Amino acid sequence: MKSLELLTPLETPELSFANRVFMAPMTRSRAPERVPTALMKDYYAQRASAGLIFSEATQISAEGVGYISTPGIHTEEQVREWRRVTDAVHQHGGVIFCQLWHVGRASHPDFHGGKLPVAPSAIPFEGQVFTPEGMKSTVTPRAMSLEEIARTIEDFRKAAEAAKIAGFDGVEIHGASGYLPAQFLEDGTNQRTDIYGGSLENRARFLLEATDAAISVWGAGRVSVRLWPRFTYNGMSDSDPEKTYLYVVEQLEKRRLGILHFVEFPPSDGVKPISPAVRQAFSRVLVLNCGYDKESAEAAISEGRTDAVSFGSLFLANPDLPKRFELDADLNAPDQATFYGGKEKGYTDYPRLT
Ligand SMILES: Cc1cc2nc3c(=O)[nH]c(=O)nc-3n(C[C@H](O)[C@H](O)[C@H](O)COP(=O)(O)O)c2cc1C
């Protein structure tokens, strides 16, 4: 059997990854009190054979909340309970980063004592938010003041510090999926006329300041940034994704960022992928994601298009995914009905190979 590039180790000056089969961040909505649970500890420990686990999106502040039952990393209790998760992952030989999250306008007043969610600009979008009382329509958010922006960057820094106390090996800034940093970056959601809006440099400022805040705590080698150009859910749009995202990548390269987690929808007709130019522009660890299977991931690594691949739904359903790739074993199919919320079912009960 030919050995797989996917299963070769990856070393950086700061970190050692046992393989290049990374686990993508996945919200599982199983923290009803917003505090990590014993079940979450088991779930992550089961998946510790990933080269690197990116945790589910984890809010940096109460203001950053937009969904029910997602965990945070801004209270002492959350930090203490995350520590149990990271300890368990380390005991099983794993490496885990915390994905730091602020949803911005993708929220609802019901999560904020009736106050409006915040955003770069007061631009509404068509959508539904799953609130404690069920699905509700989105509202027009409130534009953040400069003071609020500075405080939110500080919230990112504090959360990065909390992640260190909680025993994570690094942090990822969630710059994807139409949440706050992406809302600043893309011109469809940012109409500011101050230093956080207008030019591309200004629109990228928030994301880069949040990244710098994380770097101030961890050093660049233990910080990842997740980007997802052409993501159109959550009402997102940008007039020139290639230019916008390559500018950000250049800025991250200047900072010698440790990991760039770049997500692109699988190729479709007439859409030129951006990741080849990203590969050229970024010299440290590149992780690609979205729609990969063993064969396409192996090809991407062996052809030098990426250093590692993160797997979402396949890792969700296969706690021992690297082993299954190694043995060419059958894969469990993900059960979408149990993606979000619930207990063990569809979470910690996917069978391992015997
Ligand atoms: C249940 C579920 C929850 C997700 N939650 C997050 C999240 O919290 N943060 C994030 O950046 N992406 C999230 N994603 C996106 C995944 O990280 C990944 O980009 C997506 O599943 C595509 O990869 P795949 O084709 O390997 O599944 C989620 C995906 C799924 C299926």
Tokens representing 10? 């990856």
Q: Select from 250, 261, 272, 158 the least CA-distant residue to 210.
A: 158
Ligand 1-lining residues (CB < 6 angstroms): 24-27, 56-57, 99, 174, 176-177, 226, 263, 289-292, 311-314, 339
Q: What pLDDT does 354 receive?
A: 83
Q: Where are the domains of the chain?
A: 5-338
DSSP string, 160-229: HHHHHHTT-SEEEEE--TTSHHHHHHSTTT----STTSSSHHHHHHHHHHHHHHHHHHH-GGGEEEEE-T
Query: Which amino acid does the sequence have at 186?
Result: E
CA-proximal residue: ligand 1, atom 14 (nearest) = 26
Select from 228, 262, 313 the residue to mutate for testing ligand 1; criterion: most ligand atoms less than 8 Å from CB. 313
5-338: CATH superfamily: Aldolase class I (3.20.20.70)
CA–CA dist 88, 91 (Å, integer): 5
Tell me how crowded residue 82 is: count the other CB atoms within 10 A of its CB: 28
CA of 33 to the centre of ligand 1 (A): 22
List the chain pLDDT tens, one digit each, 354 residues.
568 999 999 999 999 999 999 999 999 999 999 999 999 999 999 999 999 999 999 999 999 999 999 999 999 999 999 999 999 999 999 999 999 999 999 999 999 999 999 999 999 999 999 999 999 999 999 999 999 999 999 999 999 999 999 999 999 999 999 999 999 999 999 999 999 999 999 999 999 999 999 999 999 999 999 999 999 999 999 999 999 999 999 999 999 999 999 999 988 878 999 999 999 999 999 999 999 999 999 999 999 999 999 999 999 999 999 999 999 999 999 999 999 999 999 999 999 998
Q: Which residues are the active-site residues?
A: 179
CA of 279 to the centre of ligand 1 (A): 22
Distances in Å between the alpha carbon of 74 and those of 158, 215, 310?
8, 18, 26
- CA dihedral of residues 194, 158, 64, 42 (deg, nearest 10): 150
Q: Tell me which DSSP letter residue 67 carries.
A: S
CA–CA dist 170, 254 (Å, integer): 19
